[in-house]
Structure 1
Amino acid sequence: MKPMRTERLILRNWEDRDRDLFHRINSDDRVMEFFPFRRDRAEADAKMDELRAWTAEDGYGFAAAEITATGECIGFIGLLDTDHVPS
């Protein structure tokens, strides 16, 4: 995925430096309230690898949202092709 930049945000593929945040997102009860499960660290790492490959292949997907001024990853945003739904 080619990064997309605005004045305040960079939308980019997940990077190894995001693994801790990705795990926190996937194991947080409030974030995952409407999902049937939470991911442990190994499951979160595997899902991140899957999403990274999928986003790189299709050019869109669930991208990391980074604050331009600080480089801090604050979450994600995405577009989903319903013909290609990740598990």
Structure 2
Amino acid sequence: MAGPLSEIFAVDLTSAHGRCANCGITEPVARLRVYTRAPGLVGRCPHCAHVTLRMTRSPDNAWLDMSGTTTLRIPLTTT
């Protein structure tokens, strides 16, 4: 999901830590199990397999559903 997410966000979200709304475990977004055989991308928690993130695109829009994630901590670097 790193490539598609980088088109939307200015920071690298794979290093962000998301908390699963189902089991409560916090893991880096890079650890999600990503499924591509859907109408978009589906990211599932590596512990309980709950859907935490969905991303779908059209030529002009991107939809991001993070209803399966309770928090997202994004590390910001200073220059």
TM more than 0.5:
no
Could you say which TM-score interval applies, normalised by the shorter chain? 0.3 to 0.5
Structure showing the higher helix proportion among its residues: 1
- The two structures have a TM-score, normalised by structure 1, of 0.34
Q: Which has the higher contact order (CA 8 A, sep 6+)?
A: 1
Structure showing the higher strand proportion among its residues: 2
